[in-house]
Amino acid sequence: MEKIAVSSQGLLSISVVSHGQMAMIALLMQDIQEHCSDLWVELILTLNIEEPLTFRESDFFYPIKVIRNPTPKGFGANHNQAFKSSHGDYFCILNPDIRLLDCPFPVLIESLKEAGVGVVAPLVLSPVGSIDDSARHFPSFKKIFLKLFTRRWTSDYALNNDPINVDWVAGMFMLFTKKTFERLNGFNERYFLYYEDVDICARLNLAGLKVMVNPAARVVHYAQHSSHRSLKYLRWHISSLYRFLTSHEYRQLKQLGRI
């Protein structure tokens, strides 16, 4: 494959945050090494808790910047911090439990070049190949009540092979241009965990920009569900949901008939 020059697609900055997940991140780093050697890439790795590194930077074709937090930060604060250290024309949020089947970035970067696209995500698959529920409608009090009352937890979008504009995509994989992320002032750090992705997509929507899923790019999500059983994480989830549902952005979307 012909090497993609900086002038044609630009430098890609990838931000990954570890919470003691270095073994998993090592696999993701190997995926980038194996599949994306024709791209100009830098990795910003944030250690949100102290842990030893299990790799040598010299083993990889791309530069790696390690940020060690003296105290843990939230999702948005960590990625905002990484963005300030990045040099790329594009900024990608990746969860540690994402695996690459090939290099998803070139086709996603091309999507970002389309008029009005603010963020793009790939089709996210489970380890067994089913489509992950990573693109959804904005939440509302009515929708939450209906789901709880009917116990129907169906997907909001029928994702197939065609690019589709959605309300929001999950923060496990989000690709922005540097210009757009700067324009939004990054993630809202008032959300410590959960709904940072909903909030930033709401702000994109209000700015007249699209949130796109392009299934031509596919990744696998090895979901880590242990936190779902933790009361602490449940409190964070409910608190962040309430923050969004009472936010100025939510009220604006509702007034515009987009919720």
pLDDT computed for residue 14 by the predictor: 99
Q: What parts of the chain have a pLDDT lower than 50? A: 1-7
Residue 4: its pLDDT value, please? Answer: 39
What span, in angstroms and rounded, lies between the C-alpha atoms of 49 and 74? 12
Cα angle for residues 136, 141, 143 (degrees, 5° grid): 45
Closest CA to 198 of 158, 150, 140: 140
pLDDT reported for residue 156:
81
CATH 3.40.50.300 fits 6-255, yes or no: no
Contact between 39 and 4 under an 8 Å Cβ cutoff? The reply is yes
Q: Are 223 and 231 in contact (CB under 8 A)?
A: no
Quote the pLDDT of residue 148.
65
Beta carbons of 181 and 72 less than 8 angstroms apart: no
Residues 6 or more apart in contact with residue 7 via CB below 8 angstroms: none
What pTM was estimated for this model as a whole?
0.92
Residue 162 pLDDT: 93
110: left (phi over 0), alpha (psi -120 to 50) or beta: alpha
pLDDT of residue 3: 39
Position 143 scores a pLDDT of 77
The string of pLDDT tens digits covering residues 158-206 is: 888 899 999 999 999 999 999 999 999 999 999 999 999 999 999 999 9
